[in-house]
Amino acid sequence: MEANASISNLLRDIFGNPFRPVAFAPSWRTSDAIALARTMYESREFGAMPVLADALQDAGCDSDDVLSHCREPQPLHVRGCWVVDLVLGK
Protein backbone atom coordinates (compact mmCIF):
# COMPACT_ATOMS: atom_id res chain seq x y z
CA MET A 1 0.00 0.00 0.00
CA GLU A 2 2.84 2.41 0.80
CA ALA A 3 4.38 1.90 -2.66
CA ASN A 4 1.06 2.83 -4.29
CA ALA A 5 0.89 6.00 -2.21
CA SER A 6 4.44 6.94 -3.24
CA ILE A 7 3.63 6.41 -6.90
CA SER A 8 0.45 8.46 -6.55
CA ASN A 9 2.35 11.30 -4.89
CA LEU A 10 4.97 11.22 -7.63
CA LEU A 11 2.34 11.34 -10.37
CA ARG A 12 0.52 14.23 -8.63
CA ASP A 13 3.79 16.15 -8.42
CA ILE A 14 4.50 15.73 -12.12
CA PHE A 15 1.01 16.03 -13.60
CA GLY A 16 -1.08 17.82 -10.98
CA ASN A 17 -4.79 17.10 -11.13
CA PRO A 18 -5.72 16.29 -14.75
CA PHE A 19 -9.37 17.03 -13.95
CA ARG A 20 -8.57 20.58 -12.78
CA PRO A 21 -6.19 22.18 -15.28
CA VAL A 22 -4.57 25.40 -14.12
CA ALA A 23 -4.47 28.54 -16.23
CA PHE A 24 -1.05 30.02 -15.50
CA ALA A 25 -0.82 33.76 -16.10
CA PRO A 26 2.40 34.93 -17.77
CA SER A 27 2.53 37.83 -15.29
CA TRP A 28 3.26 35.32 -12.53
CA ARG A 29 6.63 34.56 -14.17
CA THR A 30 8.58 37.23 -12.36
CA SER A 31 12.36 37.22 -12.25
CA ASP A 32 12.22 36.03 -8.62
CA ALA A 33 9.85 33.15 -9.40
CA ILE A 34 11.88 32.09 -12.42
CA ALA A 35 15.17 32.22 -10.49
CA LEU A 36 13.74 30.10 -7.66
CA ALA A 37 12.23 27.58 -10.06
CA ARG A 38 15.41 27.35 -12.14
CA THR A 39 17.56 26.81 -9.04
CA MET A 40 15.28 24.05 -7.76
CA TYR A 41 15.06 22.43 -11.18
CA GLU A 42 18.82 22.42 -11.75
CA SER A 43 19.80 21.36 -8.22
CA ARG A 44 16.91 18.91 -7.81
CA GLU A 45 16.44 20.39 -4.34
CA PHE A 46 12.87 21.54 -3.79
CA GLY A 47 12.99 22.87 -0.24
CA ALA A 48 12.23 26.37 -1.49
CA MET A 49 8.76 25.45 -2.78
CA PRO A 50 7.04 27.53 -0.04
CA VAL A 51 9.24 30.50 -1.01
CA LEU A 52 8.17 29.98 -4.62
CA ALA A 53 4.56 30.11 -3.46
CA ASP A 54 5.26 33.45 -1.78
CA ALA A 55 6.92 34.81 -4.95
CA LEU A 56 4.00 33.66 -7.09
CA GLN A 57 1.49 35.16 -4.67
CA ASP A 58 3.43 38.45 -4.69
CA ALA A 59 3.15 38.36 -8.50
CA GLY A 60 -0.63 38.08 -8.25
CA CYS A 61 -1.11 34.32 -8.36
CA ASP A 62 -4.42 33.46 -6.74
CA SER A 63 -4.62 29.83 -7.83
CA ASP A 64 -5.32 27.65 -4.81
CA ASP A 65 -4.04 24.63 -6.74
CA VAL A 66 -0.67 26.25 -7.46
CA LEU A 67 -0.17 27.81 -4.04
CA SER A 68 -1.29 24.79 -2.04
CA HIS A 69 0.92 22.47 -4.12
CA CYS A 70 3.94 24.65 -3.33
CA ARG A 71 3.08 24.84 0.36
CA GLU A 72 2.19 21.18 0.90
CA PRO A 73 4.25 19.58 3.62
CA GLN A 74 4.70 16.74 1.13
CA PRO A 75 8.40 15.93 1.01
CA LEU A 76 8.22 14.62 -2.55
CA HIS A 77 8.94 17.09 -5.31
CA VAL A 78 10.91 16.07 -8.36
CA ARG A 79 12.32 17.55 -11.53
CA GLY A 80 9.25 17.76 -13.67
CA CYS A 81 7.06 19.18 -10.88
CA TRP A 82 4.13 20.73 -12.73
CA VAL A 83 4.34 24.07 -10.91
CA VAL A 84 8.07 24.48 -11.47
CA ASP A 85 7.58 23.55 -15.14
CA LEU A 86 4.80 26.14 -15.50
CA VAL A 87 7.00 28.84 -14.00
CA LEU A 88 9.81 27.89 -16.37
CA GLY A 89 7.46 27.80 -19.34
CA LYS A 90 7.96 24.11 -20.02
Successive 10-residue mean pLDDT values, the chain, 90 residues: 66 74 92 96 93 97 94 80 93
DSSP 75: -
**Does residue 9 lie within any of the structural domains?**
yes
**Does residue 24 lie within any of the structural domains?**
no
**Does residue 23 lie within any of the structural domains?**
no
CB within 8 Å of 51: residues ≥ 6 apart: 36
d(CA 32, CA 51) in angstroms, rounded, equals 10
Tally of structural domains, the chain = 1
**Does residue 74 lie within any of the structural domains?**
yes
Per-residue confidence (pLDDT) for residue 7, from 0 to 100? 76
**Does residue 54 lie within any of the structural domains?**
yes
| Residue-range definition of the domain harbouring residue 61 | 2-17+29-88
**Does residue 39 lie within any of the structural domains?**
yes
b vs e for 42-61, b when ≥16 Cβ sit within 10 Å of the residue's Cβ?
eeeebebbeebbbbbbebeb
d(CA 36, CA 72) in angstroms, rounded, equals 17
Per-residue confidence (pLDDT) for residue 74, from 0 to 100? 66
Per-residue confidence (pLDDT) for residue 30, from 0 to 100? 97
**Does residue 22 lie within any of the structural domains?**
no
